[in-house]
Amino acid sequence: MSRSAQASLTRLEEIAGGEHVSMNDAELRAREVCGVVPSVVVRPADADQIAEIVRFAIAEKLAVIPMGGGTKLGIGSAPSRYDIALDLSRMNQVLAYDPHDLTLGVEPGARIADLLQTLAAQKQFLPLAVPFLDRATIGGIVATNSSSPLRHAYGSVRDFCLGMEFVPGDGTRAKSGGRVVKNVTGYDLHKLLIGSLGTLGVITRVNFRTFPLLPAQGTFVATFQTAEEASEFCVTIAHSFLTPQIAEIADSGAARLLYPQVETNSATPQSWSVILSVVGHSAVVDRHGHELDRLADEANAQEFSALGESESVSLLTRVREFPRLVLESAPSAMVFRVNLIPSAIPPMLTEFRELANRAGFDLITLTRASGILYAAFSPAAGSEIAPGACAQLAKDVLQFNAKPEAHAQSMLEWCPAEVKRLAGDVWGPPRADLPLMQKLKNAFDPQHVLSPGRFAGGI
């Protein structure tokens, strides 16, 4: 170890404690980001230690990437520099919880699975049914704006995040928003950190609005011959008085993941399945079931089924874990996440199918009716496709989605590191608002020490 490296290690040990600083090779490789391995792992205990570590990184011109459970380190571009892995797993406490006010304050390293158990004891929950639920932490969920099927009814993290405390790239401590539902007027600066992949600040606390658990739930599946019919059925529901909390459209490939062969389901996967979940009092759930059945019949559904409790739990769990299921079944898959308006869903699916067929790829899709499309491209069964060809397909997909007529914004959320390197910017071609994003980066992180290169345009 060089003298400068030893001095850096000593200073980090002074800040966080020797037992919480490691240069162990296995620990470093466990925290690699897109093939880039850090030089040291530090586990701070609180926001003050984080601020000191960031100031130290500024002084030594080191790059810091914050992380928790490590489930989303593969999202985003490869870092341009990566020296310190800032492991926030020690910061895992519930700081404030008032069930009567439906408010919660929590540290970034808290696992969402543990948090949901705490809330369930008070018959409450957070609508964060995100993939990798067993290991995902609040900080990572917020920093990646992780998508949840519950977004259909409750919105994204931005809609129920009340405030945040964080350490920006100048090593100070900052906060935005508040801890209650009704806050003073002003700029919600904390919402800039949602989905920023740690490029603007290190989150040290998040305040949420919580929601009551309702007493009954029903899950229904309608199947259709075409994507257009399935999408139009969802539009009809949106224009009715019905309010499902989940509305997902699965193609036949996604259905094979969502309905594993080892289970027996009353709903047999066919070409296009619309998966609906309803919560409320039992009378509300029953009314939804009758009305959805009627609307499905009018929409020429091939089948409409109400699932039993065990089938419902299994299906909704697998819907939540869809990206994880794809990566487990096809590790070389390229998984795109596309934000688009609902009317653009059928033509987007058609274009993706044509791109996949031309390139010799299999395609499976799961679409949130509110406008989130997961599209997973993988080499056809039994074939091998070079990383360069995979990267070219990724570029074609991103280029198509960047066209104004596509009405979409997309990113290559998951793919092998080599494909990501060859594909270039996984966020697609530069957007018109890139100069504004660069100004924000310079304001929040003037020395570019926080997750450099991870966001769009190399930010």
Give the pLDDT confidence score for residue 121 in this predicted structure: 97
Q: Find the mean pLDDT for residues 226-237.
A: 96
pLDDT at 426 exceeding the cut of 90: yes
d(CA 221, CA 76): 34
d(CA 210, CA 154): 11
pLDDT at 234 exceeding the cut of 70: yes
d(CA 249, CA 336): 16
Q: How confident is the model at residue 266 (pLDDT cuts 50, 70, 90)?
A: very low
CA proximity to 50, closest of 185, 152, 162, 170: 170
Give the pLDDT confidence score for residue 9 in this predicted structure: 82
Give the pLDDT confidence score for residue 241 in this predicted structure: 95
What is the helix (H) or strand (E) element at residue 232, kind and residue range? helix 227-238
Tokens describing residue 417: 């590191």
Q: How confident is the model at residue 1 (pLDDT cuts 50, 70, 90)?
A: very low
pLDDT tens-place string over residues 136-190:
999 999 999 999 999 999 999 999 999 999 999 999 999 998 877 665 556 789 9
Q: Is 130 exposed, middle or buried (0-12, 13-18, 19+ CB in 10 A)?
A: buried
Give the pLDDT confidence score for residue 184 in this predicted structure: 52
pTM above 0.85, yes or no: yes
Measured in degrees and rounded to the nearest 5, phi and psi for residue 342 equal -55, -35
Q: Is 121 exposed, middle or buried (0-12, 13-18, 19+ CB in 10 A)?
A: exposed
CB 135, CB 123: distance < 8 Å: no
CB 209, CB 256: distance < 8 Å: no
d(CA 234, CA 272): 12
Tokens 């759930």 sit at which residue? 285
Strand partners, 116: none
Tokens 């964060």 sit at which residue? 128
Q: State which amino acid sits at residue 258.
A: L
Q: Find the mean pLDDT for residues 369-391.
A: 89
Going by their DSSP bridges, the two strands 361-368 and 372-379 should be labelled as antiparallel
Q: How confident is the model at residue 135 (pLDDT cuts 50, 70, 90)?
A: very high
pLDDT at 268 exceeding the cut of 60: no
Q: Find the mean pLDDT for residues 404-419.
A: 90
Measured in degrees and rounded to the nearest 5, phi and psi for residue 218 equal -130, 140
Domains in the chain, CATH or no CATH each = 3-89 (3.30.43.10), 94-212 (3.30.465.10), 216-320 (3.30.70.2190), 323-423 (3.30.70.600)
**Helix residue ranges, H only, 335-433:** 345-359, 387-401, 417-423
Look at residue 38 and give its three-state secondary structure: coil
